[in-house]
Copies of this chain bind each other. A is one copy, B any other.
Amino acid sequence: MAQWARLSGKHWRKPRHEVLGYPDPHGERSLRQAIAAHLRLNRGIACEWQQVFVVAGAQQAFQLIAATLLDPGDKVWFENPGAIGARNSLIQSGAELVPVPVDEAGIVVEEGVRRAPAFRLAFVTPAHQQPLGAKMSLERRLALLEAAESSGGWIIEDDWDGEFCFQGAPMATLTSIDRSGRVIYVGTFSKTLFPSLRLGFLVAPPHLVEQIGICLDAFSPGVPTALQGIVADFIVEGHFATHVRRMRKLYQERYQALEEAVREQLAPDLEVVPTQTGMHTVAFLRPGLDAVAMTRMASRRGVTVAPISRFCLEPIARDGLVLGFSGFTPAEIRAGVLDLRHCIRELAELGAGAAYWTGDSAGMVLSREPNSP
């Protein structure tokens, strides 16, 4: 925060003509260059700064991509379960979302091909599937790229928490192994810095750069210059890399606290799916315990969780809870887990648990819920 306040002060002391006018709708050059350099070094993405477009968060990136590429009725592969914010943005274009199941290796490409071979766009979260947490296998990545090449479709790689791979070697991004320019990479500073910034970016493959630029010129007057300038300086001076490294370690500790507390306090009713990345994980509920009822009960105790079913376009085999850990200390996490234990007891006593998944949100395609678990 001290560095941030210093850089903010520095920005407002610049000459007026640099800080007051309309921003470049494509993003400030200094930030586009800083992002390109960061991605080259940290995500293996060899891009020019002209391919980087700065937008008001990942959701605006999805809306922009949809406006550029999708016509009403176009088929879009969408992970099931999958990210709510992206779902809302893509639906807005009138495209048809085709739910494609996800397993421990990520999106099941062959099922996507079976359901919609001529897809126009596929939305995936390869580093850390949102919300199930799988890391997409290399085999699947190659199969997905091949499917996009055959259909002439595009792929959105939403790398929302990919910087926070705290265990094992991070896998190469889809964008970095894409040889035919089908992948659009989307990143957000909401996770790597903080959400109140409202800053995200996308990296367009070379032959989409012009079209994306035209859409931004027509529909978006750009995002605030001041915040772009401060973030650019924050990256260039090295504070960003330091911050991400620190957070990665912190999130690992917090994940371990969660995993341990659930294992000790809640097994076998709740079972954490091991995760190696990011800011949240999922935990499956013992059959007979209802995730929606659990969520309501937890909320009354001040604990925010979300049923996996809320992220679904069609029902899945086993429901559970999405558990965020990045914003809480180990002590807070342990206290929250104890609260969940009370909920499970209460639920069992009430006999309120349904014997199978109740599909609370199946067919619900538009959600007021924010994307973040």
Contact = CB atoms under 8 A, between A and B. Distances in A.
Interface of A: 1, 4-5, 8-9, 12-13, 16, 19-23, 25, 56-57, 59, 63, 67, 85, 88-89, 92, 190, 194-199, 214, 217-227, 366-368, 370-372
A219 B89 contact: yes
Among A9, A19, A59, A221, chain B packs the most CB atoms within 10 A around the CB of A221
Contacts of A220: 59
Contact of A1 (B12, B63, B67): B12
Nearest to A91: B218
A261 to B, nearest CB: 23
Contacts of A20: 194-196
What is the oligomeric copy number? 2
B21 A196 contact: yes
B57 A221 contact: yes
A220 B67 CA distance: 15
Given A198-B23, A227-B226, A218 B367 contact: yes
A12 B4 contact: yes
A226 B5 contact: no
Contacts of A19: 196
A223 B198 contact: yes
A16 B5 CA distance: 12
A91 to B, nearest CB: 9
Contacts of A16: 1
B195 A21 contact: yes
B22 A196 contact: yes
Nearest to A372: B22
6 contacts: A20-B194, A21-B195, A56-B56, A197-B224, A199-B224, A224-B224
A85 B221 CA distance: 9
A194 B225 CA distance: 11
A83 to B, nearest CB: 13
Contacts of A222: 198
A-B residue pairs, 3 tightest by C-beta: A196-B225, A20-B194, A217-B368
A370 to B, nearest CB: 6
Given A8-B8, A22-B190, A227-B227, 4 more contacts: A4-B12, A63-B219, A197-B224, A221-B370
Contact of A368 (B8, B22, B195, B218): B218
Contacts of A372: 22
A92 B215 CA distance: 11
Contacts of A366: 218
A221 B59 contact: yes
Contacts of A88: 218-219
A196 to B, nearest CB: 4
Given A20-B194, A195-B22, A219 B92 contact: yes
Contacts of A194: 20-21
Contacts of A223: 56, 198
Given A22-B372, A23-B198, A368-B214, A8 B12 contact: yes
A263 to B, nearest CB: 30
